[in-house]
Homo-oligomer: A and B are copies of this chain.
Amino acid sequence: MADLLAGLGDAGGWSKRHLLGLEDLSAEEITLVLDKAEFFRKALDAGERRFPLLSGKTCCNMFFENSTRTRNSFALAARRLGADMVDFSAATSSLAKGETVIDTARNIEAMKVDVVITRHRTPGTPHLLAQNLHCSVINAGDGPHEHPTQGLLDIMTIRQRLGRVAGLTVAMVGDIAHSRTARSNIWGLKKLGAQVIVCGPSTLVSPRWQELGVEYSYSLDAILPRVDVLNLLRIQFERQYTRPFPSVREYALLYAMDSRRLARTKPEILILAPGPINRGVEVTPDVADGPQSAILDQVTNGVAVRMAVLWLLTTVKS
């Protein structure tokens, strides 16, 4: 065990108590998380499952939106680090009884909880909690704003597959307007020196995205030949009040990544997609399951990134 953990090294000067968004992190901090996550990924691949770094700590999922995979990815990460995990997620939780979200979180903290992992449809909720709690807060998605561990796992997968991030051109394709994944990726990728293009129908991509230092395009076919990474976002029908395009079939004709389009990309193109994927909408099965796709790698890296984040946040003295 001592041998196992020796490879992890120390926390490298990490000083943040919360992970609220990639906008707040420096390039050095992002790289530190990725390096630590790389350690956990390799150890997981080697069959290790028990890393007693958070023994005696308690982590808490407090999801106010339905989530199965992110919630369980955090739960697995916490348990593999030896933490106790408790789940306060529920649409039917005390909030329905008129309690404020700060009161709910303070109540949970009062049970001697060290890390609160939260998802809420209102942007800024994790920041509000961070200001009002003594324990660590992780943003697992605040409306369309940020989802930093998703950004980190995407960037980790790019670095793993292509060996670097700086100088790459990464296109985020699809439902940019409603995507916290897009925002977290943009902040992280820009800081590490990548170019970002946001691409999708004009109802979902606005020229104002240029203010974040990214390029925009309404045509996937136009940008295909010059991108190194395609990150295919899911159309989130559940977040939309009006239909942003005439039909799913029309969307797929213009934006689905299929073998015909794949033939026009650079040969080493990397295909990412934060699940769940809609096969035949944003990506066709042959591409999703092909050698350019790193979709399942993203999932495994997700556990590794969350282990790294949980460990780093809890190494900070409060």
Q: Which of A12-20, A44-52, A180-188 contacts B (4 or more CB under 8 A)?
A: A44-52
- Residues from 285 to 318 in A contacting B, C-beta threshold 8 Å: 296-297, 299-300, 302-303
**Do the beta carbons of B69 and A94 come within 8 Å of each other?**
yes
Per-position 1/0 for A64-101, Cβ under 8 A of B: 00101100110110011000101110101110011110
| In the bound complex, CA of A104 to CA of B295 (Å) | 12
A106 within 8 A of B: yes
| Closest residue on chain B to residue A93 by CB atoms | B68
Residues of the B chain whose Cβ atoms lie less than 8 Å from the Cβ of A72: 86-88, 108, 111
**Do the beta carbons of A47 and B58 come within 8 Å of each other?**
no
Residues of the B chain whose Cβ atoms lie less than 8 Å from the Cβ of A28: none
A103 within 8 A of B: yes
**With known contacts A80-B84, A300-B112, A97–B58 Cβ distance under 8 A:** no
Residue in A58, A80, A104, A110 whose Cβ sees the most chain B Cβ within 10 Å: A110
A275 within 8 A of B: yes
**Do the beta carbons of A56 and B50 come within 8 Å of each other?**
yes
Residues of the B chain whose Cβ atoms lie less than 8 Å from the Cβ of A108: 69, 72
Q: Which of A120-128, A213-221, A262-270, A276-284 contacts B (4 or more CB under 8 A)?
A: A276-284
| Closest residue on chain B to residue A300 by CB atoms | B110
**Do the beta carbons of A112 and B44 come within 8 Å of each other?**
yes
| In the bound complex, CA of A75 to CA of B58 (Å) | 12
One complex includes copies of this chain to the number of: 3
Interface residues on A, range: 35 or more
**With known contacts A49-B58, A50-B56, A112-B44, A275–B94 Cβ distance under 8 A:** yes
Residues of the B chain whose Cβ atoms lie less than 8 Å from the Cβ of A99: 275-278
A234 within 8 A of B: yes
| In the bound complex, CA of A271 to CA of B270 (Å) | 60
A107 within 8 A of B: yes
A238 within 8 A of B: yes
**Do the beta carbons of A111 and B299 come within 8 Å of each other?**
yes
Residue in A50, A73, A76, A112 whose Cβ sees the most chain B Cβ within 10 Å: A112
Instruction: Identify A49's interface contact among B56, B68, B80, B87, CB under 8 A.
Output: B56
User: What are 8 A-B interface contacts by the 8 Å CB criterion?
Assistant: A47-B56, A49-B58, A68-B93, A69-B107, A94-B275, A97-B234, A99-B278, A107-B296
Chain A residues engaging chain B, CB cutoff 8 angstroms: 44, 47-50, 55-58, 66, 68-69, 72-73, 75-76, 79-80, 84, 86-88, 90, 92-94, 97-100, 103-104, 106-108, 110-112, 234, 238, 275-279, 281, 296-297, 299-300, 302-303
